[in-house]
Amino acid sequence: MLGLDFSIASLAMRRKRSAFSPSSIAGLVAWYDPSDQTSLFQDIAMTIPVTQSGDPVAVMLDKSGNGHHMTQPTSASRPVYQTDGTHHWLWADGADDFLAAPPMISDYDFTMLAAVEAMAANGGIVTLHASSSRYWSLHTGAVDANTVYRALDRQGAATTLSVSKTVATAPVIVLGQWVANQVSLSVDGSPFVSAATSGAANDAINLRLFSFRDGNHTGGKLHGVAVYERSLDAGERAALVSAFAHQQGRSL
């Protein structure tokens, strides 16, 4: 009996230690988690909760506590909540679906992470958007290259600086980090690939999911997003990647 009690206690302790929240890392300004259905609503007034696979999502609450909630007032442009009974995600059609929130980053340094799967080629996953030629984005790759992920620092029509990494078609965690003179990208916890930048301060007007500018939309599955108002160290990045991969049913 003592052995059984000890085993149960040990298991409980292991479970407790394994729990992780993005809010445990300093600097979190926005966190979106489709697996928490209490954060999803079918209408802008937030009177109709999302309850089942296929429900449209008009509002996705920011779980950081900062109030940067994602919204989509146009009913035809709302992504939908989907689940296989274990894992949960938002699905966008790639035609006109997207969500947006007020900007929560006004200057370098910052970090954005997205847990995605089966994304369409050549589009924004999560983007701090200022204009059609000014944005900071985690992107899928060029046309017909949906296994390429990029981190972009675009300061004008002729000044797009990006880094990219090619991976197999599968769920991935894409993490970008922007500092005053550099943009960096990591996929599934890989070492950073980086490029030098010389852009002006960030002047984004909103944060977008599934779109990097008006008229450009990206389809696919989104399992979660986190945004930090600082660069993160290697240990913090590893903890985040592991936690978001777990939501996809993976171990990293």
Average pLDDT over the chain, rounded to an integer = 86
Write out pLDDT tens, residues 112-137: 999 998 888 778 899 998 877 778 88
* pLDDT over 60 at 170, yes or no: yes
Fold of 97-247: Jelly Rolls (2.60.120)
Cβ partners under 8 Å of residue 59, min gap 6: 40, 41, 43, 44, 46, 69, 70, 71, 72
Res 6 pLDDT > 50: no
Q: How confident is the model at residue 145 (pLDDT cuts 50, 70, 90)?
A: low
Per-residue pLDDT, averaged over 166-186, amounts to 86
Q: How far apart (Å, rounded) are the C-alpha atoms in residues 100 and 199? A: 24
With vertex at residue 148, the alpha carbon angle to CA 112 and CA 229, rounded to the nearest 5 degrees, is 10
- Residue 52 has a pLDDT of 97
Q: How does residue 143 score in pLDDT terms, banded at 50, 70 and 90?
A: low
Does residue 58 surpass a pLDDT of 50? Answer: yes
10 has a pLDDT exceeding 70: no
| pLDDT bracket for residue 41 (50, 70, 90) | very high
Q: Residue 149 pLDDT > 80, yes or no?
A: yes
Query: Residue 138: CB partners within 8 Å, gap ≥ 6?
Result: 112, 114, 124, 125, 126, 127, 149, 150, 151, 152, 174, 176
pTM for this model (two decimals): 0.88
